[in-house]
Amino acid sequence: MNKIKVYLGGQPNEYENNWKELFKKLEGFDFHDWEFDSDQTSPDTFFPDDMNGIKNADILVANPGVAPSEATWIEIGYFYALNTKKPGDFCDKLIIIWQEARQPKWSMDFVNKVGFVVSTFEEAVEKLKEIAKSCQIPISF
């Protein structure tokens, strides 16, 4: 059976209470976790590995955490560009976890236009399942 490819972008597990493990328990998905699936030896290896993981993903779940997270926004931007027809389109395969403590709040108007924004990991799991149902890949939960 085909599985939906999901890139888990953003904060490492160690800084966010192993947030990715909640997703990896789900069946019907093939998760790309940059911490394990990309060669983390140096930027010369992990940057292209990460970008290929994003390019091959059907869905991106991004967790920028509450600290500055420049790399996450690069991941989001690349996925957005690959999965929309024109600038300003809403990407219905992109989930951004914007935790309540994340600042600045003024940027939310912009971020909400990019893809689905949720505030908890549990909401992100439910949104992932919802998006998966609309994908053209047959899966079972």
Q: What is the pLDDT of residue 73?
A: 94
**Which one-letter DSSP state was computed for residue 30?**
E
140 in a domain, yes or no? Answer: no
Spatial separation of the C-alpha atoms in residues 95 and 89, rounded to whole Å: 14
What is the count of structural domains for the chain? 1
Is residue 141 domain-resident?
no
Per-residue model confidence (pLDDT) at position 97: 96
| Residue 68, domain CATH | 3.40.50.450
State the residue range of the domain holding 27: 4-134
More confident: 138 or 23: 23
